[in-house]
Amino acid sequence: MPAIRNIRLSAARTRFGLVAVSVLVTAAIITLYLRRYGLSTLAVEHEAIRGWLAGDGLYAYRSPKNESGAALPPALALIVAPLTLLPLPAAGGLLALAGLAALLLSTMIIAGPVARRHGRRRGLFVLAAAGLALLAEPVRAAIGLGRPELVILALLAADLVGLRRAARVRDRSLAALLRSRRSPRGRSSRSRGGERPRRARIVHAFRAALFSGITHHASSAAHQASNAGRHLSSDAQHFSGDARHLSSDAPRASGDALHVPGDALHVPGDALHVSSDARHVSSDARHVSSDARHGESSKRSRREIEPSGNWWKRLAASGSWAGVGTGLAVTFSATALLFVGYLLVTRQRRAALTALATAALVIVGMLAVAPTETLTWYGTTMWELARPAPVSDVDNQSLAGMMARLYGFPAPPVLVWFAFGILIVAVGLIRARSAHKDGDEVAAFTLIGLTAAVAGPVTTPAESLWLLPAVLILADTGLRRRLSLRPARPSRWIRRTGTGHLAAAAVGYLLLVTAPGWALRWNVPALALILLVNALPWRQGAPAALPAGRSAPHRRAAIPLPRGG
């Protein structure tokens, strides 16, 4: 026992030491980021919010250094407003902590299933993935500049959890419906006249609940009747034995003794009648017990579909809140509207309506709180693409920024940009829909995030966060292909497919960590975004649950779909 206690104490000390070292290293890294980037975006937003609180407009402030103005929506400005009471470094530190928590949440949602799939410990895998993501340029820029992109990513990732739980509830309800249709009672009811109406189902459930209370009494009565039948049968056997003895002495006895076996032979018949009655009672009890078990199974299936507990626990487990995070993200960033379009394309209408209702509710609330700033933002300021920086700036790695630099204009040619942008959006939505049908919702969301980054007017390094889930998907796909195809000894080309995915993930992560200046000048991030929209694989999983009465379409996809292992 002392040895075991010492081992446990040493393990606890080791864990505590690792946690302390990790916290210190993370704090040092965040401090370096804050000093390197100087919280320049947060500084402009702080001055704009202070002017707004002083009576000026929210969007009237211009930085004296580069004439850039605040480009944050009114809802986000209202959330950030309390931080203006603190000094800029303290406010930046709080935003960095919020961004770090959002990064951990997003990593847990996105990378957690990968850890379970490969048999790794979820906690260590998530911490390692979050640590690697912390070193990448998009996370560095989001924390160092004081931008809310990490929080927006966490809101969208939270909707992934809601969609997963809603799909799980639909799968359970469909499975319960199929079980009820395959049961003998369901088949007999359908053969008598199709589907039972709702009133018949309610009556059946009531009868099952009523019979479950008398099952025990009927079973005990059947048991007592069976015992009585067995006793009478044993007595009859004794009488029959006596009769056989008398019949053996019949040659020496009188003629009256010959009637005794006949009388004795009638007794087992009565006993058999009693025993048959007992068997009938026992069969009736078994029928009642089967009805009770059917009622219990129905109740159990309903409990699985509708979890017990408080209303908020049922709401959280049902996934019916999916779309709230997307709606909030729409009020913080207009490019998140593409996620609402994805929900509509994949026929997840409830989540799409929830997202639209959430966004509308927040906008109406802001109209009541700050009507002038809300109308100004959605009327004019949101359409000023060059407000934070020129569209042709080298940090803008969207399609619009790349085309503006290629043409040598401050802004891209509108018609050419619209044409290529619509094509990119169509490809991204089609491929995301295919990934959703194959069960990989993370890849579908990643494709939509990459599409929004390409088609949006401005995509800074902080807004390229969806490159990190893309790197994880490439690595997971490569590992899955190599592990699944190893025993079969496939061809050299197939073996190289998994190696190519792993190599692409490694090169992509190195570029995200190093962020060389030549990569921005040569539009490497923009080209990588376009390539991933067209070629990002997704993991084959369980097919997405379809609503009842609708079968999966059998038509082929309009665009060739590279799929992972």
pLDDT tens for 469-502 read 999 999 999 887 766 555 555 555 555 667 888 9
- Residue 32 confidence (pLDDT) above 90: yes
What count of Cα atoms within 13 Å lies in the side-chain half-sphere of residue 358?
Answer: 22
pLDDT at residue number 317: 74
Reduce the DSSP state of residue 124 to 3 states and report it.
Answer: helix
Residue 533 CB neighbour total at 10 angstroms: 25
Percent of the chain with pLDDT over 90: 48
Whether residue 362 contacts residue 328, with contact meaning beta carbons closer than 8 Å, is answered with yes
pLDDT at residue number 80: 93
The token pair at 335 is 């490019």
pTM (2 decimals)? 0.73
Distance of CA 164 to CAs 57, 322, 439, 541, Å? 42, 9, 10, 13
Percent of the chain with pLDDT over 70: 69
Handedness of CA 328, 333, 339, 341 (dihedral sign): positive
pLDDT at residue number 320: 80
Tell me 197's DSSP state: P
Reduce the DSSP state of residue 69 to 3 states and report it.
Answer: strand
Instruction: Provide mean pLDDT across the span 363-383.
Output: 93
Task: Considering only CA atoms, give the Rg of the chain.
Answer: 36
Average pLDDT over the chain, rounded to whole? 78
pLDDT one-digit tens code per residue, 289-329 = 554 454 444 455 445 445 555 766 776 777 788 899 999 99
pLDDT one-digit tens code per residue, 390-427 = 899 999 999 999 999 999 888 899 999 999 999 999 99
Instruction: Provide mean pLDDT across the span 120-144.
Output: 93
pLDDT at residue number 226: 54
- Residue 68 confidence (pLDDT) above 80: yes
- Residue 15 confidence (pLDDT) above 70: yes
- Residue 145 confidence (pLDDT) above 90: yes
The token pair at 79 is 């959330």
Burial class (CB in 10 A: 0-12, 13-18, 19+), 209: middle
pLDDT at residue number 535: 93
442 pLDDT band (50/70/90 cuts)? very high
pLDDT at residue number 235: 52
Task: Determine the Cα–Cα distance for residues 97 and 90; give it in Å rounded to an integer.
Answer: 11
- Residue 555 confidence (pLDDT) above 80: no
259 pLDDT band (50/70/90 cuts)? very low
Instruction: Provide mean pLDDT across the span 514-521.
Output: 90
Whether residue 448 contacts residue 432, with contact meaning beta carbons closer than 8 Å, is answered with yes
pLDDT one-digit tens code per residue, 110-120 = 998 898 888 88
Better pLDDT: 196 or 157 = 157
